[in-house]
Amino acid sequence: MTPSVRSRLWASATSFALGFGVGNYGVLQVPRPDQWVWIAVAVVLMLTGAAGVLFADTSRAVSFWAILGVEVFAVFTLVPLLWTFTVATTPEGATARTLLPQDISWSAFDGAISSGTLRSAATTSLLVALVATVVAVALAVPAAYALVRLQVRARRLVYGLVVAALLMPVLALAGPFADQLVSLGAYGSRLALVVPMLVVTLPLATWLCVTVMRDVPWTLLDAVRADGATRPQQLRRFAVPHLGPGVVAAALLVFVAACNDFALGAGLAPDRPSLPLPATLLVASRQVDGSSAVAAAGLLWLLIPLIVLLVLPRRINHLLGRSYR
């Protein structure tokens, strides 16, 4: 028996045992209709086990451990999302008690879309995030260029500062910022949120742009320059195709992060219209049928990162993975 066959058989056995356990627990402990979820998961796992035995000595490079892992990953990721959907579609006055939606009602989605409070909160979030992202990226691109390409003294110090700002608990700055805004008389204005929001966007933008810059084929720029290209030509032939996509992906990530910031927005804004969406959802969660409204608004808001992910899936994964390295 070759190692890969043995590995597949082990994977099958694990998968089968796991499926057997899940199926039994589901049948014995879980009431309907959620029982079907458990049974479905059990069936998939046991089928994986069976397939692993059947194709144990295939010559193709298939790893049943990987298949099992991806199945667990899918369940792990999707169950909470399904639950969020169930909470969001629970009819008014009812409480969701099962994972599978019992009685789908779209009223919470309607409410989230037509609610003036949530709309103005979303506008605030998008507006503040947009301005803070534009400013941050405009500052971050040259800074990252300098960090990667130019001889700068104290380069490591600057980079350390960026990472420190990226990782510090932003909440600690919310109190002093709020106090400052109150004494300036600017507390409660939408634009006053932009400056504090730079604490979130600027380090993130710089950090991501450094990765973008590191992946750029700079020799090409030298070649373009050697060809005697003018500045606009350098821009068109080098910067736009090689820098552009990376910077756009970084900007989108920064934008999403700024949209999703909670601590600063919740601390620095009093109420509508300047309270950003995440903080508004905290207020909404305490009201009657609040969970449905929060879940519905959260799923709608999830469309922003989803679109970003769908447009540039490879680049986003690459950028995030490489940035952490």
Partner 1 sequence: MRGWRWLAPAVLVLLVVTVWPIGRAVWLSLTRSTLTGAGDQRFVGIDNYTDILSSRSWWLAVAATLAIVAVAVVLQLVLGLAFAVALRRLTVAWPVTRVLVLLPFGLLAIVSAVVWRDAVTSGFAVDWFGLDDVGPTGALVATTVGEVWRGTGITAVILLAGLLRVPTTLITSAIADGATARQRLTRVVLPAMAPAIAVATTYRALDALRILEGPLVTDAPGASVRTASFVVWDTTFSSFETGLGAAMSVVLLLLAGLLAAFLVPVLRVRRVV
Partner 2 sequence: MAGVAAAAMTCAPLAACGAADKAVPYLPVITWQVGPDRVDAEALAQTCNDQAGGDYRIEVEQLPTDVSERHALLTRRLLAHDDSIDLMSLDSALTTEFAEAGFLAPIPAAQASALSEGVTPAALAAASHDGRLVVAPWFLDPQVLWSKGSTAERAGLDTTKPISWDDLVAGAQRLGVTIEIEDRDGSGLPEWVNGLVAGGGGSLVSGTGRAARAGLDSAGGREAASIVELYQGAGVGPGPTADAVTRFAGAGGGFLVAPTSAISDPALSAVQADMRVAGYPTVADASVAPLAGVGLAVPAHASDLDQQAAFTVIECLTSPTSLQALATVSQHTPSRIGLLDDPAVAGGFRSAEVARASATTGVTVPAVAAWANVVDAIDETWRPLAGVTQDATPRTSQAEVQAALDGTIR
Interacting residues toward partner 2 by CB under 8 A: 182, 185, 187-188, 269-271, 274, 283, 286
Q: Which is nearer to partner 2, 213 or 269 (CB)?
A: 269
Q: Report which of 286, 284, 288, 281 is spatially closest to residue 265, judged by C-alpha positions.
A: 281
Q: Which is nearer to partner 2, 146 or 283 (CB)?
A: 283
Residues of span 165-204 touching partner 1 by CB under 8 A: 165, 167-180, 182, 195-196, 198-199, 202-203
Provide the 8-state DSSP code for 229.
Answer: -
Partner whose footprint covers residue 270, from partner 1, partner 2, none (CB < 5 to 8 Å by kind): partner 2
Q: Which is nearer to partner 2, 206 or 274 (CB)?
A: 274
Exposure on the CB side of residue 220, measured as CA atoms within 13 A? 14
Binding footprint of partner 1, residue count (CB under 8 A): 111
Q: Which is nearer to partner 1, 3 or 185 (CB)?
A: 3
Partner whose footprint covers residue 274, from partner 1, partner 2, none (CB < 5 to 8 Å by kind): partner 2
What are 255's two structure tokens? 């934008």
Q: Report which of 160, 155, 143, 259 is spatially closest to residue 205, judged by C-alpha positions.
A: 143
**Residues 14, 34, 51, 113: which binds partner 1 (CB under 8 A)?**
34
**Residues 89, 124, 133, 206: which binds partner 1 (CB under 8 A)?**
206
The mark string for 223-242 relative to partner 1 (x by CB under 8 A, - otherwise) is --------------------
Location of structure tokens 């922003």: 304
Residues of span 127-146 touching partner 1 by CB under 8 A: 135, 139-140, 142-143, 145-146
Q: Are 269 and 276 in contact (CB under 8 A)?
A: yes
DSSP string, 40-76: HHHHHHHHHHHHHHHTTT-SS---HHHHHHHHHHHHH
Q: Compute the least distance from the CB of residue 244 to partner 1, in Å.
A: 18
Between vectors from CA 77 to CA 73 and to CA 83, what angle results, nearest 5°?
145
Q: Report which of 112, 136, 83 is spatially closest to residue 261, judged by C-alpha positions.
A: 136
